[in-house]
Amino acid sequence: STRHGVLCIGGNDAGRTYADVFLLQWIPQTQQLSQVSLPPFPTPRAYAGVSLPTVDDDVRRHFEPRAASVSDRLGILERLRSAGIRTMAVVQPMLPGPLPELAQALAERCDSVSIDVLRGEYEAAPLFDDHPDARTDGWQATRADELAQRLEELGVAVWDSELPPGLSEDSR
């Protein structure tokens, strides 16, 4: 889902694979569903990704105790990419950990990366008590900018729209 509607991308059934791309939109004025056709994929393809806000597994364990380990997430990206699937990662919020290693790990496994900052602590506020700098807007913005710069230097597309490069409105 996007703020513009539901993006429908390809698919398959028992008989064939479809490259169709279209946007379903609800039109409140007419109380009807609208289908906006978009350019089809030249060949059907898939995009998949993970969230990876740090490569420091101790930090991951502190902030995301029930989430997959860093090595599990990186392994998922490796397997997806080796299968010909375009890979992406979402880094949000910025968490403590070495940025050069994070950038390198992502560059080796991702076609594109979305970076965003902390948008509120809510129930996670106590987790930031051990990392007080990480809760500040300045720290978040500086780290996000540094990671974006490192990724771009490594040739990785960095995006901040709702969709990755190739699927965003800017690329249509």
3-state secondary structure 4-54: CEEEEEEEECCCCEEEEEEEEEEECCCCEEEEEEECCCCCCCCEEEEECCC
The Cα–Cα gap between 89 and 70 comes to 12
Kindly compute the dihedral angle of the four CA atoms of residues 65, 83, 1, 31, in this order, to the nearest 10 degrees: -150
* Residue carrying structure tokens 């076609």: 111
* C-alpha triplet 171, 91, 160: angle, nearest 5°: 25
pLDDT value for 13: 67
Token pair for residue 144?
Answer: 């996000």
- Say yes or no to pLDDT of 172 above 50: no
Taking each continuous run of H as one helix and of E as one strand, the counts in the chain are: 4, 7
Let me know if 66 is exposed, middle or buried by CB neighbors in 10 A (0-12, 13-18, 19+): exposed
Indicate the SS3 state at residue 58.
Answer: helix
96, amino acid identity: P
Kindly compute the dihedral angle of the four CA atoms of residues 154, 114, 119, 150, in this order, to the nearest 10 degrees: 0
Q: pLDDT per residue over 91-115, tens digit each?
A: 999 999 999 999 999 999 999 999 9
Mean predicted lDDT score pLDDT of the chain: 90
Output the pTM of the full model.
Answer: 0.72
- Say yes or no to pLDDT of 42 above 90: no
